[in-house]
């Protein structure tokens, strides 16, 4: 009887809350997926990095004269040589343009580019985008927000790119914000929307966490970094604009939601 009791204690009982014993096939399957979770992210990261380095090396390294190329005297290639040359070249250009002659050359080249009919539009647009994104004081893509899109009651993650200015803001009664609404799983494409500031809900997640969530299609969900007392408070509802939308669609009247009922106006206690 004692031997029977020992055998009973040795075998976990699922009804008593013990762990269920997996069969050999189930254990092998679990080990297989665990291996994928470990190897796949590392392998994909190294593979994409290798492709990027190889792409840059294939374009930049041939520009180096053969007598100055270390690969000429070595029996093997040097991965990353082209990338290193590109970084050094950009740093050198930045240092040269900081001086008087560099600024003079920039003014002359910009004058030439701005006089070309087609090139000037492309150059001015690209330059303005890079100056806005790379500026230290820029607020572009520094904050993730929640917006109702494509209709009321459906939420989407977007990124603030700046404050609405010019004609768009002048003809709009409310203060608007420029937001970029990315698509899944390719966040480089999306929509530019001008949304009233009161309709945006700031998110506590970082931009990196929001991008991961968009790319993964919601598989990766970041944690709520807010205090526990704020997590239990709802800031918006799909019924807020229900009657307002009906009036707007029927009469095309500029009916505004009651003050204090819009998502951005609700504050955490």
Contact 250, 244 (CB under 8 A): no
User: Per the structure block, which two tokens stand in for 220?
Assistant: 């990766």
User: Per the structure block, which two tokens stand in for 178?
Assistant: 């420029």
139, part of any domain: no
Q: How confident is the model at residue 51 (pLDDT cuts 50, 70, 90)?
A: very high
Q: How many domains does the chain have?
A: 2
Contact 58, 77 (CB under 8 A): no
Domain boundary among 73, 90, 107: 90
102, part of any domain: no
246, part of any domain: no
Q: How confident is the model at residue 8 (pLDDT cuts 50, 70, 90)?
A: very low
Residues 86 and 151 in one domain: no
**The domain containing residue 156 runs over which residues?**
144-225
Can you give the C-alpha Rg of the chain in angstroms?
A: 29
Most confident of 40-44, 66-70, 126-130, 255-259: 40-44
Q: How confident is the model at residue 229 (pLDDT cuts 50, 70, 90)?
A: confident
- Closest of 153, 206, 152, 216 to residue 182, by C-alpha: 216
The arithmetic mean of pLDDT across residues 215-220, rounded, is 86
DSSP element (H, E) containing 219: none
What helix, strand, coil percent values describe the chain, rounded to 5?
Answer: 50, 10, 40
* pLDDT surpasses 50 at 11: no
34, part of any domain: yes
6, part of any domain: no
Residue range 116-142, pLDDT digits in tens: 888 888 888 888 777 766 665 556 678
């Amino acid at each position: 009887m004692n031997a029977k009791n020992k055998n009973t204690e040795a075998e976990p009982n699922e009804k008593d809350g013990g762990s269920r014993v997996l069969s050999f096939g189930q254990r092998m399957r679990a080990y297989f997926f665990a291996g994928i979770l470990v190897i796949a992210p590392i392998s994909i990261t190294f593979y994409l990095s290798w492709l990027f380095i190889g792409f840059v090396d294939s374009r930049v390294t041939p520009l180096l004269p053969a007598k100055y190329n270390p690969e000429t005297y070595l029996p093997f290639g040097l991965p990353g040589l082209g990338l290193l040359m590109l970084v050094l070249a950009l740093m050198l250009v930045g240092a040269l343009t900081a001086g008087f002659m560099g600024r003079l050359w920039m003014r002359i080249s910009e004058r030439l580019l701005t006089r070309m009919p087609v090139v000037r539009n492309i150059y001015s647009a690209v330059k303005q985008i890079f100056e806005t994104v790379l500026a230290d004081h820029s607020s572009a893509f520094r904050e993730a927000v929640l917006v109702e899109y494509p209709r009321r009651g459906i939420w989407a993650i977007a990124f603030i790119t700046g404050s609405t200015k010019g004609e768009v803001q002048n003809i709009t009664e409310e203060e608007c914000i420029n937001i970029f609404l990315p698509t899944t799983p390719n966040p480089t494409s999306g929509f530019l929307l001008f949304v009233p500031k009161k309709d945006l809900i700031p998110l506590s997640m970082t931009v990196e966490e929001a991008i991961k969530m968009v790319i993964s299609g919601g598989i990766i969900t970041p944690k709520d970094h807010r205090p526990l007392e704020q997590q239990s408070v709802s800031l918006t509802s799909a019924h807020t604009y229900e009657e307002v939308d009906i009036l707007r669609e029927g009469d095309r009247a500029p009916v505004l939601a009651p003050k204090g009922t819009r998502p951005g106006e609700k504050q955490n206690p």
